[in-house]
């Protein structure tokens, strides 16, 4: 939670200072620009469904960014690695499942002020692994749960960024639409959908 509050405070303070600049809202004519960058932060994710405890546990997200911008508009694509942790209960016992995903967000961008951008688009995610242990075997992460999950997730994405020179700070929400429950294996009739909030810092090479 302290990382969320710190990032929110940073974005609010910087954007307030930027908004006070009268020239920040004036159109700036620019040619098409491209940039690449790196970003890393915290991933807070939960899974819906009766068997999931609904707790939101922090994990990591990191990866690379490619961006095209012109005037107030932009297009950004990313290749990200993330982990997520989900507490789960069943008749076999309680378990703690850790998943690894490769994310591919594609976002349209609009610059509201000189340094403040809003983003919207879609994110596709591919499952790399899902491992955990039941309470009857604590401390073990050898059990493979990957076959219990659908291999691809997707959903709409909304976010915002503050950009000061080459430095970036932002937040994002991803609403998973795919039912991740591979019911042919789990034999459970439930929708398992992800709800994700991320905060991050990054650096872009122009």
pLDDT over 70 at 157, yes or no: yes
Q: Which residues pair with 46 in a beta bridge?
A: 195
Given this model, what pLDDT does residue 4 score? 52
Q: Where are the alpha helices (DSSP H) in 20-69?
A: none
Show me where the domains of the chain are located: 2-11+32-205
33, 206 in Cβ contact below 8 A?
yes
Question: Could you give the CA distance from residue 82 to residue 183 in angstroms, rounded to a whole number?
Answer: 24
Given this model, what pLDDT does residue 160 score? 98
Q: What is the CATH number of domain 2-11+32-205?
A: 2.40.160.20
pLDDT over 90 at 99, yes or no: yes
What's the distance, CA 82 to chain centroid? Answer: 8
pLDDT over 70 at 5, yes or no: no
pLDDT tens sequence across 32-69: 999 999 999 999 999 988 878 777 889 999 999 999 99
Give the whole-number percent of the chain exceeding pLDDT 70.
Answer: 80
**Average pLDDT over every residue of 75-87:** 95
Q: What is the largest CA-CA distance in the chain?
A: 63
| Secondary structure of residue 16 in the 3-state scheme | helix
| Secondary structure of residue 11 in the 3-state scheme | helix
Q: Which two tokens stand for residue 189?
A: 């009739």
**What are residue 24's phi and psi, to 5 degrees?**
-70, -25
pLDDT tens sequence across 122-154: 999 999 999 987 665 555 557 899 999 999 999
Question: Could you give the CA distance from residue 33 to residue 71 in angstroms, rounded to a whole number?
Answer: 9
88, 95 in Cβ contact below 8 A?
yes
Give the whole-number percent of the chain exceeding pLDDT 90.
Answer: 64
Residue 158 burial (10 A CB sphere; 0-12, 13-18, 19+): middle
| 110/140: higher pLDDT | 110
Given this model, what pLDDT does residue 184 score? 93
Q: What does pTM read for this prediction? A: 0.82
Given this model, what pLDDT does residue 11 score? 58
């Amino acid at each position: 939670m302290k990382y969320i509050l710190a990032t929110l405070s940073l974005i609010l303070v910087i954007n307030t200072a930027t908004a006070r600049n009268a020239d920040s809202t004036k159109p700036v004519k620019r040619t098409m620009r491209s940039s690449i960058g790196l970003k890393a932060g915290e991933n807070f994710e939960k899974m819906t469904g009766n068997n999931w405890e609904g707790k939101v546990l922090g994990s990591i997200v990191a990866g690379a960014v490619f961006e095209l911008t012109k005037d107030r508009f932009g297009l950004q694509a990313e290749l990200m690695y993330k982990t997520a942790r989900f507490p789960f209960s069943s008749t076999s016992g309680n378990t703690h499942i850790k998943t690894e995903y490769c994310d591919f967000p594609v976002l349209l961008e609009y610059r509201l002020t000189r340094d403040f951008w809003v983003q919207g688009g879609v994110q596709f995610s591919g499952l790399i692994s899902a491992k955990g242990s039941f309470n009857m075997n604590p401390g073990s992460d050898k059990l493979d749960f990957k076959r219990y999950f659908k291999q691809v997730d997707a959903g709409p994405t909304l976010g915002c960024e503050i950009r000061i020179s080459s430095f970036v700070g932002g937040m994002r929400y991803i609403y998973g639409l795919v039912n991740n429950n591979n019911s042919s294996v789990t034999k459970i009739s439930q929708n398992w959908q992800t709800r994700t909030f991320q905060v991050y810092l990054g650096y872009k090479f122009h």
